[in-house]
């Protein structure tokens, strides 16, 4: 959805590169990669105690998930915002979104491991309803953007 908008709004003269643009690009890429690495590492360090509480324990999985967060974010940005001011391809955008979404979906469903039985199905039903509503909202916003584009032409 956003990739289509990115391709359509690429500047006409793509060869002009400003140093401020490069600094801005690096700032965005590094800050999001470090943020997601920290978030995934933080989530990987939590261990459920027998009484149900979560506590942070250092283990090597923290570094593993931090690495996954860092690399998946770098891959995402490289695919949707290629270096050298080349235009992003539809295939590259899809690959980048998948690389970013897979670990995110893992950490979204990770807390469901502790659920069981009827309660699990109630949680899954609620998450499915929320996903459907959010998907419909994103689809409507996408259609509205397309309508404005056609109206402007």
pLDDT digits (tens, 9 = 90+) for 47-98: 878 887 878 888 999 999 999 999 999 999 999 888 776 788 889 889 999 9
**93-133: pLDDT as tens digits:** 899 999 999 998 888 777 776 666 777 788 888 888 988 99
pTM for this entry: 0.67
The two three-digit tokens of residue 58, written as one number: 């250092």
Check: CB of residue 124 under 8 Å from CB of residue 132: no
The two three-digit tokens of residue 83, written as one number: 């270096």
Check: CB of residue 71 under 8 Å from CB of residue 37: no
Is the predicted pLDDT of residue 6 greater than 60, yes or no? no
Annotated domain spans of the chain: 2-114, 115-153
R_g of the chain computed on alpha carbons: 20
Is the predicted pLDDT of residue 5 greater than 60, yes or no? no
pLDDT band at 135 (very low <50, low <70, confident <90, very high): very high
Check: CB of residue 37 under 8 Å from CB of residue 73: yes
């Amino acid at each position: 959805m956003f990739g289509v908008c990115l391709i359509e709004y690429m500047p006409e003269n793509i060869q002009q590169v400003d140093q401020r643009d490069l600094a801005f690009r690096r700032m965005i890429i590094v800050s999001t990669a470090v943020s997601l690495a920290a978030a995934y590492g933080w989530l990987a360090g939590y261990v459920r105690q027998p009484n149900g509480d979560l506590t942070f324990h250092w283990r090597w999985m923290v570094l593993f998930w931090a690495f996954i967060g860092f690399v998946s974010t770098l891959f995402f940005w490289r695919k949707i915002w290629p270096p050298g001011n080349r235009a992003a391809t539809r295939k590259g955008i899809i690959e980048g979104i998948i690389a970013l979404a897979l670990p995110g979906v893992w950490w979204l469903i990770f807390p469901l491991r502790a659920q069981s039985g009827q309660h699990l199905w109630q949680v899954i039903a609620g998450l499915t309803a929320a996903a459907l509503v959010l998907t419909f909202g994103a689809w409507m916003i996408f259609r509205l953007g397309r309508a404005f584009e056609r109206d402007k032409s």
